[in-house]
Structure formats: C-alpha cells, structure tokens
Amino acid sequence: MNKWTRVKFQPNLPLEPGKYVTASPEHLALTKEAAQEGMVLLKNEKKVLPLACGTRIALFGKGSFDYVKGGGGSGDVYCAYVRNLYDGFKQLGDSVNIYEPLADYYRKNVEEQYKNGSAAGMTVEPDLTEEQVKGARAFADTAIIVLSRFSGEGWDRSSVEYNGEYNPWESETSMPKTSGKIFPDGDFYLTKEEKNMIRQVEAQFDKIVVVLNIGGVIDTSWIKEDEKLSSALIMWQAGMEGGLAAAEVLTGKVNPSGKLTDTFAAKVEDYPSTENFHESPEYVDYLEDVYVGYRYFETIPGAAKKVCYPFGFGLSYSSFRLENPVASEKNGVIKVSVLVTNEGEYAGKEVVQVYTSAPQGVLGKPARELRAFKKTDLLAPGESRLVTVEFLKNDMASYDDLGKIAKAAYVLEKGTYEIFVGTNVRDVAKTQFAVEVKENEVVEQLTSKSAPTSLKKRMLADGSFEELPLSTPNDPNACAFEKIEGGMDEAIVPAVAPHDRYMMMHPFKGRPLMDVVEGKMTLDEFVAQLSDDDLIHLCGGQPNTGVGNTFGYGNLPEYGVPNIMTEDGPAGVRLNWECGIHTTAWPCATLLAASWNPELIARVGRAGARELKENNLAVWLTPAVNIHRNPLCGRNFEYYSEDPLLTGKIGAAMVRGIQSQRVGAAVKHFCCNNKETNRKHSDSRVSERALREIYLKGFQIIVKESDPWVIMSAYNIINGHRASESHDLLEGVLREEWNFGGMVTSDWWTRGEHYKEILAGNDVKMASGYPERVRKALDMGEIKREDLARCAKRVLNLIMKID
C-alpha cells in the first residue's frame, strides 16, 4: 500500500496477504508464552510442583472460575475468549484429573454473581460445607487454592472515593464502594471467607498449592509462614490464555522463570508511602523520597524484617549455580560476568541481577540499587552459560538537589562502590572488584527543574527526616480568563465537521503535506501557509474514524494531512465490542516485567503493533511506565515495577517492538501518576532528587534507548504545576536535557488549560482541543503564533513517520 492508505481509507485488508494477524494463532501462542515467562514460583518446599501426570486435584476458591485477565479501564481488551485455570487444566486432557462436583459448584456460583452485576475479581468467596471438602479429599490428594483480585483505572485499591466534581464514569465512584463491601480490610488482605476456606482445605489436605491471580502486591505472609501450604505460584493477570499458561506451568510443561518486580511485605502499612496515601484528596507528600520499594526495605533500619519475598525473587523447578563473578571497568564502562549452571533436573532459565552499593557520604544512598540484569536462554540440566552485562560508572551517581556538594548535579561521592551479583536483591555475592572514587566527581551539571515548594521534609537513609526549603506555591488553576468548571470538560469529543471527511473530497487549499514527505518543500514552508486557526486545530484531538474510539491527530484534509487514529493499551488493542473485532489480550504489564526478558517484550510489542496497524490505527497508547510507589495504586497492574531501571529497560523494549512496524508508541503517564483517587487534581509533592532518580528515570531510559514518537503527559499536578502545563518537565527535562524529538500529547480530558499546555510544550490536547479558548488567548497576547507552529510541527512530524 501507499503511504497513509490505511489511515485515510480504512481498508478491510489483512496485514499479510490472505491472512489476518489480529488475534492470529501465532499471537495467541505468544500471549501464552509471555504469560508463562512472567509467572513467579514463590514456594515449593515439599516439591508438590510440578504436578505429576494423572494427579487427582480439587480446585478450591471462586478464583478457579472468577479469573481476571487484566485490570479495568484503558487496560481492558475485548477478546474472543478467556481461559481460566479450570479451562486450562481441561485443555491438557489427562494431565490431571479434576474433582468435578466442586468445580460445578464454583462455576455456578460465579455465573450467578456475574449475572447479578459483579465484575471479574469483585465477587464474594462462597461458603463451603464440610461435606464438600471431604468429598473433594476422597477424590483428590492435592488441593489447588485459587484467589483473584481486580482493580482498575480511576480508583485505588481501597474504599476511599472522591466525588468532588462531576464524573460521568460510573465505575470510578461505584467500585470503591463495592471493594469496601467485599474487602472490609482492603483487598491487600485475605477476606474472612477466604481465610475460612483455607482453614477448611488445610484440615483435609496435606498437599496444597496456592495460585494467585493478581495484578499487584498482596499480603503473602500467610503463604510464607504456613507450613501446610506446600507451594505457591503467582500467575498474575495473565491475559486471555492465562489459565492454560498457568496449567502448563503447574504441570511442568513449562518451568517457571519469573522474578518479582516489587517487594512483597507482610502488611500494606509496612510501605512508608501508605501512611499518607489518602491523607488528602488534594495532594500526596512523597516523604519516603528515593527510598521506594526495596530501596526502603533494604536500607532503613528495621525494615528488612517486614519483607516476605524480596525484589527480584523467584524460584524454579530446577536449581542454578552462579560462580566466578568477575567485574572490571574500562573507559567508564563496568563489565560484569558470571557463569550460570543448571544443576537441576529440569531445563530452565535464570535471571542474573547486578546491584551496587554506594558510600553514604553527605547525600545518603539506598543500600543497593539494580544496575543491570540478563535472563539466560533455556539451559538443559548440567548446561552452563557465561552471562555478561554492562553499565556505566556514572549510573551510580546521585542527584544533589540541595547543593550539599554541587546543586542540581549528578555526583559520584568519594568512597568505595561495591558490586553484587545474584538472583534477587538479597541472594547476591560481592565481586572482588569495586570502584574507588578518590574525590567527589560531578558527572553531569544540570539546572533545577520542578523543585517542590510545599514538601516539608523527606526521609534519609537512617530513617530520620530532613527539612526541605519551602517557597510560594504555584496556582495550578490560574488562567488569563474564566476557567472551565472542573468536570464539565470531561468526555467532550471533537467536532465532526468539516475536517472528518475523506481527503479525496477536498480540493487542496495549498501544497499538501506529501510534498514535505517527498522533499519538495520544507516543513516550515508547509506550516507557513496554514492559518492561525489551522494551527490551533492541529493542537487538538480529532474525531474517530473506522474502528478508532480514542480519537486522532492531524485531520487537515484541505492540506493533505490525514487523521491518524490512536488506540488504548497496554494489554492489547482496545477496540469497542460493537466493532465485532477480537484482538489479542496480552498479560498485564506487571507480569510482562516479571519476565525480566526485554527480547520477549519486544516481540509482544511488535505483535501488538501489527494488530494496531491491520485495523488502520496509528498510535498505540502504551507502554505505561509509572513506578509502583505503593500497592494501593489502582493502576499498578498497568505499570511494570517499583524499580526505575527495570521499568525503563522493559518499556524501551516494548517501544522498540511497536515502532518497528512504523506505528507510534505513546509512553505514559509523564509523570508521578501514582494514585488514582482525584487523579486530575492531586498534587504529587516530591523532591527533585526523587523525581529524577525514581520517577523520571524509566522515561529517560526509554527516550535514550528507543526514541519513542509520543510521550503522554499525566493528569496529576507535580509540585504545583499540572503535568501537561509543566514547562520544566516537558521542555526543560524532556526536550532540552534528554533531546526528545517526538510529540507530547495530554492524557484524555485533563484539567489543564489548553493555551497553557501549548506554552509548556504539550503539543496536543486530547480527546478534544478548545480552539475558541486558544483563539481568545492568542487575541489577548497570552500565546503567539510561533507557539502554535512549534506544537503543530511536532504533530505533523509524527504523522509523517506513520506508514
């Protein structure tokens, strides 16, 4: 096809001759493979797993049928079918024998709860009779307990809700109420009904396997401490083939190799960010500073004992030996090698993880930080592989935001930097080589950006706090004229005339954009022929065409500019069910990251992009790379990890895979979107050091390594400035420091003022712009034509990259 044929004319044609790739057998096989690669074996003390062929099992827990393939909101996908764990076992034929009367009971109960309006994962655990449990024991010798959890966009994992402004999205207000009824102690913990069921099973069975169908961290202390629970597998929210994927892992057809991307502590209160998570709907104070996740638990005195399973942890049916770790440095590059040997009876994979520790100095540092990782390929029993990874010496520098050594600079403080190699943050060995820094070194001098004005204190490495300087805060609601009432701009859609007609129906007013593509004129010359209103038009979202449902960019047919469609992610190409097109539902982002396998993630990105392209769509709104700051965040399933390096590397791989197909990836949500409650007004008050080292770092890695075509700014406020209105972040950090060359889009229906977003470098307001308000600001002198042209050119550059 010629360039833009798909986005202009929406042909109903397969991407490959005679064969559609959307939800193809190859993609269904890949989603199952990806699901298996990220499943984490937490416990297997009695070697109950893998289940031997012909094992007689009883499935306990409504989760055996109440399967959650992924979270809600933009992360949901309309697919042809979904396999739960029962379905998965049945697909395997005689590999296991299931006690059917109990399965029938759970199936009917879940169907009835669904019929009464319950969502998957938001159902109540039904009671069991003593006769039911004894009947199961008479048939089976192994019990499998399945628990499921669900969360979604717009609400957090608690009963706290916010109704401070008009909200047309019913689930964002109804779901917290529902969650509070089902999980009175919060869904982090077991319910009374789940505890009762587990006690009943333990009274009858000696062999018990726990399977967790979850999208984020929950209490696992009961698994770790209870000797009666033999084995435990986190299957996560594993997409449409998750049940089959888990069944094949449980029966040993696949050896688990996933590793945790978060620290699993015993209580939600053990996370330092929990205490003030819901302190106010208007703000969140990031008091823990850089001590997020394992950086807190491995550093702060007394915190280590709160951990059930550490960051990076994950077992295998096999066992691996890491020996002869060797590290060296040359020209600022640190190389680490280690020999990995499979000493077990099963073929399997291991993840080599490299951590460093830094001198505390005057800045204070986490005890360990992940610097590099690599997953082996499949090693046969007895097989060895030399694994080598690299990272930069300067990667170990810390940001000095207060000027203790050099203000607004990355600094290597003098002292010894030790290197550790292992298979999780705790199971590591120190290398003989260490980096010695004799004097403080400024490795990068920057200027202060997005510094806090209202954050009073932050945590230090010893668990104490230091006071921070305060200043007059910015008013995020300031506007040159009357602002739209909060909520009244929600769900506003772009005007449909006249720009939604096919380009072939319009005589060109001037030279078409294709002349720029073909080198017949410059982009500046093209833009010069556009009116101010044309430029304003390009800075707003455009009407849906074809199967699109999240609106488009461009749409100036009289100048040959097509209307390219966006589509939601990250769990698949999220078409509306009315379209009648089933796409592939991929595992949730946390599972994908738990694979610790960037090469696999790139394949997933490529496959998803091909489905996007085949359906005549141009920009996939994925990956989502916000940090797992706290387990309560309702959208953590959509994000990768508590660690910025792992987040960045997995996100970069996803972007590479997507953009290899000449469609755009939109990396979101830039940044500090770590809470859903009142997400469009909540101010994330964070130190500049934590902002740069934790919350921006993943985005930085993706920009540097994969050159994403689009970055999506977040809903929330950051240190008094709306993310979409933050010149410091969008121009200062993203473009000036990182040399980002792509387009910035707002999230959909932000509360930012359109002309202020344009001034900040937010190129497009979605889902719809406000041309009359931007025109008013232009007439008042609040914005200039060159501001409009700068953003419009970035939109046009994006369109020219699309095939």
Which residues are known catalytic residues? Answer: 747
Helices marked H in 558-687 — which ranges? 589-594, 598-614, 644-659
φ, ψ dihedrals at 232, nearest 5°? -150, 135
Cis peptide before 771 (omega within 30 of 0): no
* Exposure class string for 307-325: b at 16+ Cβ within 10 A, else e: bbbbbbbbbbbbebebeeb
Distance CA 261, CA 274 (A): 19
- Structure tokens, 635: 């959208």
Asked if residue 14 lies in contact with residue 54, where contact means CB atoms within 8 angstroms, the answer is no
3-state helix, strand and coil shares in percent for the chain, rounded to the nearest 5: 30, 20, 50
φ, ψ dihedrals at 606, nearest 5°? -65, -45
Distance CA 637, CA 72 (A): 9
Distance CA 691, CA 389 (A): 27
Unique residue bearing structure tokens 């200062």: 732
How many residues would you count in the chain?
803
Helices marked H in 117-255 — which ranges? 130-139, 171-182, 192-204, 221-225, 242-250
Unique residue bearing structure tokens 């002349």: 515
What does the DSSP 8-state code read for residue 440?
-
What does the DSSP 8-state code read for residue 654?
H
Distance CA 200, CA 223 (A): 16
End-to-end C-alpha distance for the chain, whole angstroms: 9
Q: Looking at the DSSP assignment, which residues form a beta bridge with residue 372?
A: 354
Helices marked H in 522-643 — which ranges? 523-528, 532-538, 589-594, 598-614
Residue 697 to residues 399, 473, 516, 734, Cα–Cα distance (Å): 12, 25, 35, 11
Q: Looking at the DSSP assignment, which residues form a beta bridge with residue 417?
A: 435
Closest by CA position to 31, among listed 588, 587, 574, 581: 587
Tell me the three-class secondary structure of 235-271, residue by residue.
CCCCCCCHHHHHHHHHCCCCCCCCCCCCCEECCHHHC
Residue 590 to residues 236, 440, 441, 600, 641, Cα–Cα distance (Å): 8, 37, 36, 14, 7
575: left (phi over 0), alpha (psi -120 to 50) or beta: beta
Unique residue bearing structure tokens 């990782």: 373
Distance CA 2, CA 560 (A): 14
Distance CA 700, CA 722 (A): 20
* Exposure class string for 726-738: b at 16+ Cβ within 10 A, else e: bbbbbbbbbbebb
How crowded is residue 203: how many other Cβ atoms within 10 Å of its Cβ? 12
User: What are the helix and strand counts (H, E) for the chain?
Assistant: 22, 31
342 three-class SS:
strand
Please state the separation of Cα 722 from the chain's center in Å: 21
Distance CA 654, CA 661 (A): 12
Asked if residue 722 lies in contact with residue 730, where contact means CB atoms within 8 angstroms, the answer is no
